[in-house]
């Protein structure tokens, strides 16, 4: 991790924004899982959970500015508003501009069916707007990661001067699932784990990263709820303790938790502290338990540590 302090008012090398910090259950205060990485003039959206387009608006980033959408896996809570991203990107670009979507095997099929479902809307708009001469242009790249492997796969995005790599995570029986590492030429790096239990792929991806964004659930609480459908979620997510162990093993600078299940109620600082304390028992570094639109700028300046 870089320990270089940046002068006030200087432009960050990379900005990570937690757009949505909620989980699968609807929450009045948290959008579904998604993050924005802004670096080198590029805007990369990682996952597209519920209300992602609203959160992008709040972050002052138009959907038309997205260079690519990177999907960690195809669970509905991570992709439910991909349809909105596709449509909003289409109607707010005025030159034919492909929306690039990168994800695990299966992404192509999901996008194909989304476009099919949008068929009537696409016809209405093209009939009505003479200058909307083509349907949404979407370019899908499926990444061939090998479940169980710690191999890193390079991800190239034309016109984007960032080093992006992917690795298999372990969210079985959801397979394949992918984590991403995004690094700038100057060395700022962030890892987006998505949903996973600790695994070799995530360890390899996270080694020495400035920030690890990790979805988590409170297994100590969920395990006490006698609802089988909730209990089923215990074995394929990480607890804050497990996320912290991964962060410590990889030597990351900041662990940013997200996807709080159960949700942290607004203003409940005691609950927020509990999440942090569970992680802090296993990780000495900075732990962020942020809300929607929480930002981390890299390199870390002294004033934000």
List contacts with Zn ion (CB under 5 A). Answer: 75, 195
Of 195, 206, 186, 204, the C-alpha closest to 285 is 206
In terms of CB distance, is 75 or 181 closer to Zn ion? Answer: 75
Q: How far is the CB of 276 from Zn ion (least distance, A)?
A: 23
HSE value, Cβ hemisphere, 13 Å, CA-based, for 64: 8
Rounded least distance, CB 75 to Zn ion, Å: 3
Instruction: For residue 77, indicate whether it is catalytic.
Output: yes
Considering beta carbons, is residue 75 or 282 the nearer one to Zn ion?
75
Cβ count near 215 (within 10 Å): 25
Do 46 and 72 meet the contact criterion of CB atoms below 8 Å apart? yes
Q: How far is the CB of 25 from Zn ion (least distance, A)?
A: 13
Give CA–CA dist 162/40, Å, rounded.
Answer: 7
Kindly name the residue from 13, 27, 67, 77 that is annotated as catalytic.
77
CA torsion sign for 293, 160, 89, 192 is negative
Measure the CA–CA gap between 289 and 276, rounded to whole angstroms: 7
Q: Which residues of 254-283 are buried (b: 16+ CB within 10 A; e: fewer)?
A: bbbbbbbbebbeeeeeebbebbbebbbebb
User: Do 137 and 99 form a contact (C-beta atoms < 8 A)?
Assistant: yes
The residue whose two tokens read 């501009």 is 97
Question: Measured from the CB of residue 64, what is the shortest distance to Zn ion in angstroms?
Answer: 28
| CB closer to Zn ion out of 74 and 114 | 74
The residue (of 108 and 236) whose beta carbon lies closer to Zn ion is 236
170 vs 297 by CB, closer to Zn ion: 170
CB of residue 225 to Zn ion, shortest distance in Å: 19
Host H or E run for residue 271: helix 269-280
Residues taking part in catalysis? 77
């Amino acid at each position: 991790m870089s320990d270089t302090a940046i002068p006030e008012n200087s432009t960050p090398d990379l900005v990570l924004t937690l757009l949505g910090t909620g989980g699968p259950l609807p929450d009045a205060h948290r959008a579904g899982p998604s993050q924005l990485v802004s670096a080198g003039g590029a805007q990369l959206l990682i996952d597209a959970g519920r209300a992602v387009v609203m959160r992008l608006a709040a972050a002052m980033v138009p959907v038309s500015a997205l260079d690519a959408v990177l999907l960690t896996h195809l669970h509905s809570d991570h992709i439910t508003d991909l349809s909105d991203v596709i449509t909003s990107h289409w109607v707010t670009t005025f030159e034919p501009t492909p929306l690039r979507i990168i994800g695990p095997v299966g992404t192509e099929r999901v996008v194909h069916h989304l476009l099919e479902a949008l068929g009537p809307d696409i016809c209405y708009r093209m009939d009505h707007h003479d200058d909307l001469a083509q349907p949404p242009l979407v370019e899908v790249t499926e990444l061939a990661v090998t479940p169980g492997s710690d191999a890193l796969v390079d991800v190239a995005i034309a016109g984007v001067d960032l080093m992006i790599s992917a690795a298999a995570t372990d969210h079985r029986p959801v397979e394949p699932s992918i984590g991403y590492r995004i690094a700038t030429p100057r060395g700022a790096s962030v890892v987006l784990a998505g949903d996973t239990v600790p695994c070799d792929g995530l360890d390899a991806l996270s080694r020495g990263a400035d920030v690890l964004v990790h979805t988590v659930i409170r297994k100590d609480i969920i395990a006490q709820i006698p609802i089988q459908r909730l209990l089923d979620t215990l074995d394929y997510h990480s607890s804050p303790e497990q996320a912290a162990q991964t962060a410590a093993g990889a030597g990351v600078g900041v662990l940013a938790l997200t996807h709080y299940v159960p949700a942290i109620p607004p203003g409940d600082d005691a609950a927020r502290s509990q999440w942090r304390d569970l992680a802090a028992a296993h990780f000495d570094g900075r732990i962020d338990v942020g809300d929607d639109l929480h930002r981390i700028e890299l390199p870390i300046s002294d004033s934000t540590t």
